[in-house]
Amino acid sequence: IELIFKEEYPEYILEKLGEVGVLLVIDSSLRYQENICEEYRKARSLNNTATQLPSLYLCLLIYPFGGQALKRFTHRLNIPLKLARAFKDTIKLRDELCVLADSSIKNSDLYYLLYKYNQLAIRTNAIASSSNVIRDNIELFENELRYIKTSISGDDLRDINIPAGPAIGNILKIVHRAKLDGEVGSKSEELQLVKSLKLAD
């Protein structure tokens, strides 16, 4: 399997293995799918490094799997822990993609849905999805939203007499959401939002 995904066009080898029944011997849920050619072409066009591409190919291969099939396949091929986690994230995110089909989803909701997922899983879902809206939302996250951070820190909050503890994390998350949604921009605007939250309390 590792050698197949180091080939220039592994999809052609998978097609042959599907024809002679080898894929089913590896796992009963493993099938060659016609759309894999287009998905692998997209994967190559994304300028992934040579080390990432085999893992991306594998994530696309297991994309149709259910939970039990994924566990069986991961055990059967003795998949390394890091890649196994990417597999799990790929399937979990696939099952949540309907949320990303909303073109009016707020940037903050988009970010907090995707940020917890493995980058490989996010990329796999962007390639495998047939929805332009979903792909656009994932692209927005990858190219812009994941880089947006607050200008203020916990130290800034303590400087204005907000005690250490869970409140600081909650406030920073509120400010981060506001920044993602374009409601605040500068550090002074962020601090003003914090002060308004304190007044509201």
Question: Can you tell me the mean pLDDT for 93-115?
Answer: 95
pLDDT at 147: 96
pLDDT digits (tens, 9 = 90+) for 118-148: 999 999 999 999 999 999 999 999 999 999 9
Question: What pLDDT was estimated at residue 197?
Answer: 84
pLDDT for position 84? 96
What average pLDDT does the segment 48-75 reach? 89
**What is the predicted pLDDT for the residue at 151?**
94
Q: How far apart are CA 146 and CA 138, in angstroms?
A: 10
Name the average pLDDT for the chain: 92
For residue 47, name the pLDDT band (cuts at 50, 70, 90).
Answer: low
3-class SS at 104? coil
- When pLDDT is averaged across residues 90-106 and rounded to a whole number, the result is 95
Within 13 Å of residue 193, how many CA atoms lie on the same side as its CB? 21
Does residue 200 have a pLDDT over 90? Answer: no
> H-helix or E-strand containing 126?
helix 119-128
pLDDT band at 163 (very low <50, low <70, confident <90, very high): confident
Taking only the tens place, the pLDDT of each residue in 179-198 is 999 999 999 999 999 988 86
Instruction: Decide: 127 and 141 in contact? Cβ < 8 Å.
Output: no
Mean pLDDT of 31-40: 91
By residue count, the chain amounts to 201
